[in-house]
Structure 1
Amino acid sequence: MEREERQHLRGVVEGVSGWRRLAAGIVERRGLVEAAAEDATRQFLSRVDSLGTGTTAWRVLQVSPSDVGLVTALACRQALPALTANAQQGLHQLTNDVGPALTAVRTLFGARRIFSGKSRKDEAGQAAAYLISLHERAASTRLVTELESLAAWDRKSVPTIGLPAILDDTVGFAHRLGAGAELVARQELNAAKTAISAIDRALQRENEFRTAVHAAGNAVRQAEARKLVAEMPVERLKDATSGQLRITALTAAGIGNVQQVLDQKSRIRSLPGVGETTGNRMVGAARTIWQTTLDEMPVRIDIKNRSHATTKLLTTMRAWDAARSIRSATADLTAADAVRPLLQSLDPKTSHVVLVPQTRTVAELRDALAAVERRGAVLDGGNDVAGGDPWEDFSARPADYYAMLAELGFLADDAEKSQGDLPAEIVEAVRELKLDTSHLKASLRGYQSFGARFAIVQRKVIIGDEMGLGKTVESLAVLAHLRAKGSSHFLVVCPAAVVTNWVREIQAKSDLRAYRLHGPSRDDALKSWIRHGGVAVTTYDILGWLEGRFPERAEPACLVFDEAHYIKNPDAKRTRRSTALIQCSDRAVLLTGTPLENRIEEFRNLVGYLRPDLSISASEIAPRQFRKQVAPAYLRRNQEDVLTELPERFDIDEWMPMSSADEQHYRAAVVEGNFMAMRQAALRAGTKSEKMQRLIDIVQEAEDNERKVLVFSYFRDVLDEVASVLPGKVFGPLTGAVPAAKRQSMVDEFSQARHGAVLVAQIVAGGVGLNIQSASVVVICEPQLKPTTEWQAIGRAHRMGQLESVQVHRLLSEEGVDQRIIEILARKNQLFAEFARVSETADSAPEAFDITDAELAREIVAAERERLLSVG
């Protein structure tokens, strides 16, 4: 090798040697970063736990601030400059192949080139060629520049990475955990942990709350009993002892009532002429009267007399309701159980949790956390109840409070009356059924529980409870029970006016999903209902649209027909569509407080839709036999039978003469032979009408007495006249032309209005389905042709949850059609009492009262023509 060649080779060797040192440094630093990252990965993965009840719900990694270094180590590896193929090849050669070549090439320099053998020189020559080739390639491929760039990277250039970035791409750890991993901050979990603690306390203290309600309830009863006994004259002691006691000594001593006997028992024994034996008998008789009074004393809550004892009762009831609502909120308890293992496993130092979904998604966890937090928000951190005035809560939902009182025995239901007129074998079967209320949020009165169980046992029934007794919640209890037993899809059919109310009731009183199959969004709602299950709410008019749209998996397990008298006519389209559904379904519940409106055949039709096997022949049997035959499919309870707390109802027939203006309108209607005009004539003269003047007075009195008023008429023209004449805030008219959703919002606005407000409604629209307990004065402008029409209208206000006594004013003209309609109503009332209402029987056959509205109109018009228009 010539001198110049050796000199060039020396330069190559020196350059490659420098590159080798550079490459060794790069590989060493990158190795340290990789090792630190792998160590961080191993530490994290070793701490991943599987959590969940049953099968693993999630895999969980807890991290704390002390893990910042591990996260940063992972980020450093992720931040390492990427190696090109050229750089990878160069690093491999420089750190692996170049070393032996550099050693071998030394033979070509200095004394070694003289004394080395041929083989050594050949090996050195090959090494020289390799190094020269590597040197040339490095120069032509920018390898040196890449190495210098890699060598310039410093781990210190990577900032400290916080824990919230652990799943970021800049850290590169997420893929080691699995798909769907998400980070949850500790503060997201703390609220749920607090809520679960409140839930657990509430569950543990439920019996304590129940005992407190018992004590508070008994205190109220004792106060009421004391008040009543204090009003009992001392003469009652004689009644209690069959006249064996002489009470002259008591009255002479100024002891005038039974309570005073108890209060002054020690004094009584020392009264002149009494003695210890007689005194003991007097006190014993007084105690017997007291105990009997207490035993029969229901708990009454008087909103106008907010005593300390009653306030304490309401407070304890609300605490108990909040506690026991947890037990019935199965979805929330399930949510709590789902997150409980995670929350219990949290280390105090943990600031974040990485969740990897297994059988449940992280979104489901977040839903569970939200559900637990919502439930926890209902509970106060110290007392497990929300704060605020308990009277306001009672006023907002009195029916719930009375249901709790009934459950505790303070409003004991009459068992026989709650069972209607049922055969003993059916009653026994109903009693044996255990009602599953795990999906129900509302408390049930005893009679309501019986009604729900009756419907479940008998499968297809009519619940004919009087208006205001809670037929809606009875049917919801049926659906909730069936849901707990595995059924998924249910269908409610009702008038359009009450669709909104049904959706609200389902959402408020159960955890079943509600779907509105009515209005512009009904297609989407139907798809969601079919997919997810729940309760679909539709109208009689929409049944045609629904035909053929139920796939097999979504066939309703139970049908509910509200205001079922809408399908009394077997020839109507909506009836045919309804009965077709009933025939295909295993279960159906028909709800109507008025199964019989005009003729007994209507009632028989409703029963026949459900149980054609009963073979009822109304034309040949007496009322008692009829009730016995329909009993397997029909249950009715009346308000006075089961609602001991219902305020009184005062019916006032306001008879008044016609004014001269009224008479002119009436005579013109008679001349025309217009029966409907005759019925409304006495209210068409505005303020010149006697009825209108009396209506104005009633509204004024209601405002003075802090009440609200419902005004019902069959006629739209009358309603418009009333709305224009009445002073103050008037809502309506609420008529059949008002969309269903607007009807409910109109009722809501009226309920929130001040005293003196008036809601004017068409009796066939506002008298059906809506709950208007905020009104306690009802005015019916003219007698209706069916007693059931009036009953339904009055039932909008006089129902469970009403806190005020209810006044019902019927505006009646002394002359004209009103008197004759009243006579017809009396006959129809008797018919209903004999066949549809549990009462004493009568011997009359149904045909005796088979009079249609058209016949009634012809009869009255003819009579009035003869009275007013006959001459001589």
Structure 2
Amino acid sequence: MNKTEREEIRRLTADFRQWIHRAEEIQDWHKAVQEAASSDERTMRARSVIVGRSGQAAWRVLALRTSDVGVVRRLWERAALPMPTADDNALLRPLTKDVPSSIASVTPMLGVRRFFSGSAKKQSAEAAGELLRHHHAAFLRYDGPRRLDRLGVSTTSVDPQRLGLQTLLDPALRFDLVSRQTGPAPEMLDRSIVNGLPEALDAIAKVVAGESSYRSAARDAGEKVRRAAVHRFLEEMPTEALKAATRDRLRLGALAEAKINTVQEVLNRGRSLQMLPGVGETSARRMLAAAQTIWQTTYDEMPVRIDIKHRHPETTQLLRRLAEWDSCRQTRGAAADLERASELAPMRAAIDSQTTHLLVIPTRQLPSSGLVESIQIVIRRAELLGMSSAAGRKNVGSDPWEDFLARPADYFAMLSELGFVTEDENAVHGDLPEEIIQAVRDQALNGEHLTASLRGYQSFGARFALVQRKVIIGDEMGLGKTLEAIAVFAHLRSRGKTHLLVVCPAAVVTNWIREVAGKSKLRAHRVHGPERDRAARTWMRDGGVAVTTYETLAWWEPALRQLRDLPCVVVDEAHYIKNPQAQRTIRTKQLVARADRAILLTGTPLENRVDEFRNLASYVRPDLAVNATDLSPRTFRRQIAPAYLRRNQEDVLTELPELIEVEEWLPMSTSDAGRYRASVERGNFMEMRQAAMLQGSQSTKMQRLIEIVREAEENERRVIVFSHFREVLDLVARALPGPVFGPLTGSVPAIRRQQMVDQFSSARHGAVLVAQILAGGVGLNIQSASVVVICEPQLKPTTEAQAIARAHRMGQVQSVQVHRLLSEDSVDQRITELLAGKMRLFNDFARVSDMADSTPEAVDLSEAELVREVVAAERQRLFERASSKAGGAV
């Protein structure tokens, strides 16, 4: 390289350094503008509130202040950023990749060091210099400097000082709350629309609170009337009616001999029926179950009657409670208005003295005018309540019957308004002392933030946790321990508690997120995985339900220590912390100790793990567990009863066997994901369906399957495992720990199939029958199994229904649990989503046509159509994910 060439290279290098510096300045500017705007969007979203209508979100409302004009300007600055074209990116890319390395290679040859460099370095420098010449010429040829100048200057000529809050509605701003809207157009409303609303909501809340005790007393009295009517009705019902309430053959001769002649007398005897001569435990259980079914059916259909000819004491008490409620209530006839007030309640905290406008974004097909109407109605209702309060309280006469006869319509209107929700009064209370049972019964459970209905035993479990504060709930798998914990969260949220926490294995994080979102109004945060930092910050700031894992807890523990108030922590699959020496146990135990309330959930029976349960009990109630030195399960159960509640399915689901279906959404392991990506790239649909099971012990699905089988053994159940694929069945048969029968496939002769079923039925608890779903799903009766596992979603809803029906049919004496193993972000999710629409159609069809039961296949999705849709969707998803990761790396 001669002197002239060196001078040329110095000039080129100087140009490039200037351009690189300018490109970096532009990149930093773009990044800063975008980050500032994104931060503002997150803040605005967090400040917004959801206003409902009829139990569903209807509008998102953002209260705006004058200071929010600064946000508008930053959003506008982002919208005005010059966007690089594909040609711009192609031209500028060498500035960040090839050019810097070429400059580094050629620089030593421009000074004294060139005299001490070997031939190899000189050749490399020559090549680098030639590359610099090429890129320099190309950069100038395609007008690179001008392109840089264009990318470094805003594209707008609008004076930022002239921008106002109304600009948020401009699509060009790309404000995410507005730009993502697909329904009616968002609107900007003046503050005057909500003048008086906070005061109106406060006034209504005060009135409703004042009436609540009287309303509750009236409802309680109505319950007593209904129960007394049911009792009298069943005292007249002969025991022969038991035969019509069950499919079992009941022999009632022993009842007649014992002079038990009515259904109520059967209920009075209860479990002591098995002590009667000629009545065994099974017969007694079936008789009692039939009687309880009759009681429940009668109760459900029994209206609350006011019988003036038979003035029973409980009816007189009901009238008195209704009269007391009516004498003080100011909300008569205001049920719809009160519902709207409840829906508008979130706006109370959002509106303050600095609010100047409201940005209203419809989330359904309801325009902003509907919200304005609700506001006006609520303000008017508050005015009416204020006027009616001056009337004062009417006196309640000594004889409520006189008032009832004078205005019966008013009393019946009150009865209609109250309604009566039935509860399962026969739920088992475990080994709890009577004083605790009574305290639990007296505990109110606020369902304001709950969207799911609770069975009686679930309500009892939630109230037990509230009363006892730190407990273990060991209900058998499938009874809904998760819902009980969510009910506790919902109650605490209604009491102003905000930061609620779940610690669980990684495999059930998705289930918790789905359950919280689907069964409550609480917001769930996934503090696990790549988004854990963001989720943790959001939860710490806004509250909600944080769902994290035992492993993530190690990372999050320092931040959690800074949280002053932790109202409740739920520890799911609590057997994970039975070892007191494990680090996960130490961390979780400290968290439990610091929380105001704690609920440990586990489906493992106490009788099988006394030592380990002693450890669990010591975490929630050290004062109880310290004296639990006797290894006798009965004694230990009695000692820790104040902190431990367990119900078996047979105890709480006594009317008829119930079908409990659980979708278990599981993350793929690294091995699962690798095999799955490969199958998607090949477009091999069948391999995609089974990829999450083919890694054996490294498969998350396989690990969960083993847990289900082990728990089934502990709960004295047998299991059927269904899959479409022979290879999956072979792997399952080899992986499961207990006695395994099968695989039962289409190639197995019919006689041999029945032999397999017979052997399986006579095997010990924990036995597993592995069957191909198209072979084992039809033509066999397998009532000895009460746990069904389906390894992957089937392409026709009828295939799964027929398979489940092998166990859930006449003759089954246990409730049947169905576990669908489903992988997140996979073909399982795509198939489930596509078939959900077909199932909805089927349900709609079934409600109006007797033909539905005979033609369910009419709504099955064709396999060819499904394959095309799923493979295309998965290829697109994985491509976008790969592109996103690549973009993030750059």
- When normalised by structure 1's length, the TM-score is 0.39
- When normalised by structure 2's length, the TM-score is 0.38
Larger radius of gyration: 1
